[in-house]
Structure 1
Amino acid sequence: MTAPTSILLFAAGLGTRMGPLVADCPKPLVDVAGRTLLDRTLDLTHISAIKRRVVNVHYKAEMIRDHLRDSTVIISDETDMLRETGGGLRHALPLLGGGPIITMNTDAVWSGRNPIVEILNAWDPEMDALLLLLPMAKTHGHIGKGDFELCDTGRLTRGTKMIYSGLQIIRPAILDEVADSCFSMNVIWDKLIQRQSVFGCIYDGEWCDVGRPESIPLATRLLAQSADV
């Protein structure tokens, strides 16, 4: 069975945690150390395994369209309705092709090896989903508890020990089981947890959640210390 070759970058959110920084600019275009969050995420996708890049848009969509105008990135238009992560993925499926899909948030920066390469190396065709995780000690800018716990078998359960990094590989057939147009990936993950078919792997670098203005200096410092990404 073929490995994932398409990636969806989530860039449609309102970015309300960024406050006034997103009054005139969507969060993916916020600058961190001289480059936008979206460009930093796109940089990670420029590997031979990735053949198709899709970005979804909603808030200040034209600004993101203009930013990407000279690129080969495909736009998934959600200007009519914000669908959250699960609904956004389903809406973008016609643009992504068949087979398992990589999805990635655009509001984080990384220090270490390319996380997309890492999750592709860990992917097993028998999985329904694989999420890239970090222990709390390797995260910056994250507020609150963790999202999951990792069993000895590599399967995920709900818990607080591991943070979801915003990067996953998923088989999209499970999306058909949700009737709503707007829904979170959490709905899907809970279904897969019940079936014991969602797995996790641990990123061995560091990661910063850049969802709030206070996180930008943290991200800048992490990037300055980074040897890889």
Structure 2
Amino acid sequence: MRHDFPLMLFAAGFGTRMGALTADRPKPLIEVAGKPLIDHALAQAEGVGRIVANVHYRPEALARHLEARGVAVSREDPILETGGGLRTALPLLGEGPVMTLNTDAVWTGENPLSQLQEAWDPARMDGLLLLLPDHAVGKGAGDFVMDAEGRLNRAKGARGAVYLGAQILRPEGLLAITETVFSVNLLWDRMIAKGRLFGVRHRGQWCDVGHPAGIADAEKMLGYT
């Protein structure tokens, strides 16, 4: 499927939960099912015309890997978190809504970016997040609760839905944030206050690979032996 929006890959983190596995490499280059995590993300991005990735921790090998695949690199020093990193990369991404994808997870089922584009309604939405019910991913509580129209509010400890690290955002709101280093959560809260943050359920499975145990879980989900 052709993807009309540019894509930001979040790849700058330290990977501290991975322990010794990230002592000599950034987390996106850790292998799962025979290929680096970053390549699992890039597989979801087939058809995207413009892809940008931010890098910070042990950036050189990752930057070479990305640039060899036609991905533009936004280097961060210091690290800027998701909101600051996305805002810094906007000149590379261009104007209009952008998709973002975390690089420490794997997916099965329908393409996550395709699902977001199909559900995107610019008349109602400033943001659209890909979600699964908390019980579907083994979480005790969700990140968000969703009403019948798909509009999101914070779960605040209630059962709800878990954010899977894939979204479409209008990035203009980033320009009004005065902090330099900040999470995209700050932008979400402003969208929630306006009733313009929505969610869509992923038609497939998802596995977080932010910690060592997630590697085996992901490979099992993928049927990798």
Matched residue, 2:212: 213
The answer to whether structure 1 residue 105 and structure 2 residue 96 are counterparts is no
TM norm structure 1: 0.92
Matched residue, 2:150: 154
Decide whether the 8 Å contact of 1:4 with 1:102 is kept in 2.
no
Matched residue, 2:194: 195
For residues 161 and 28 of structure 1, the distance between their equivalents in structure 2, rounded to whole angstroms, comes to: 28
For residues 4 and 82 of structure 1, the distance between their equivalents in structure 2, rounded to whole angstroms, comes to: 28
For residues 105 and 70 of structure 1, the distance between their equivalents in structure 2, rounded to whole angstroms, comes to: 20
Decide whether the 8 Å contact of 1:138 with 1:205 is kept in 2.
no
The answer to whether structure 1 residue 92 and structure 2 residue 89 are counterparts is yes
Decide whether the 8 Å contact of 2:131 with 2:161 is kept in 1.
yes
For residues 71 and 136 of structure 1, the distance between their equivalents in structure 2, rounded to whole angstroms, comes to: 34
Question: What are the ranges of 5 or more consecutive residues in structure 2 without an aligned counterpart?
Answer: none
Report Cα offsets for 1:70-112 as digits up to 9, x if no partner.
Answer: 221100111x210000000000000001100001100000111
Decide whether the 8 Å contact of 1:4 with 1:99 is kept in 2.
no
Matches within 5 A, 1:136-155: 136-139=134-137, 145-155=141-151
- The letter for the 2-side match of 1:170 is L
Question: How many residues are treated as equivalent by the alignment?
Answer: 218
Q: Cα distance, 1:4 vs. partner? A: 4.3
Matched residue, 1:132: 130
Matched residue, 1:178: 177
Q: Cα distance, 1:69 vs. partner? A: 3.5
Question: What are the ranges of 5 or more consecutive residues in structure 1 without an aligned counterpart?
Answer: none
For residues 33 and 223 of structure 1, the distance between their equivalents in structure 2, rounded to whole angstroms, comes to: 8
For residues 153 and 44 of structure 1, the distance between their equivalents in structure 2, rounded to whole angstroms, comes to: 27
Decide whether the 8 Å contact of 1:4 with 1:101 is kept in 2.
no
Q: Cα distance, 1:33 vs. partner? A: 0.9
For residues 191 and 68 of structure 1, the distance between their equivalents in structure 2, rounded to whole angstroms, comes to: 32
Q: Cα distance, 1:176 vs. partner? A: 1.4
For residues 118 and 67 of structure 2, the distance between their equivalents in structure 1, rounded to whole angstroms, comes to: 31
Report Cα offsets for 1:99-132 as digits up to 9, x if no partner.
Answer: 0000110000011111111111111112100001
Q: Cα distance, 1:144 vs. partner? A: 5.5
Find the residue that maps to 1:190 and give its secondary structure: helix
Report Cα offsets for 1:172-215 as digits up to 9, x if no partner.
Answer: 11111210110001111111111101111111211000000011
Deviating 4+ runs (over 4 angstroms): none
Find the residue that maps to 2:179 and give its secondary structure: coil
Q: Cα distance, 1:23 vs. partner? A: 0.3
Matched residue, 1:28: 28
Instruction: Indicate which of 57, 60, 68 corresponds to 1:59.
Output: 57
Find the residue that maps to 2:78 and give its secondary structure: coil
Decide whether the 8 Å contact of 1:55 with 1:73 is kept in 2.
yes
* Higher mean displacement: 99-108 or 120-129: 120-129
Cα RMSD (Å): 1.4
Find the residue that maps to 2:14 and give its secondary structure: coil
TM norm structure 2: 0.93
Q: Cα distance, 1:147 vs. partner? A: 0.5
Find the residue that maps to 2:223 and give its secondary structure: helix
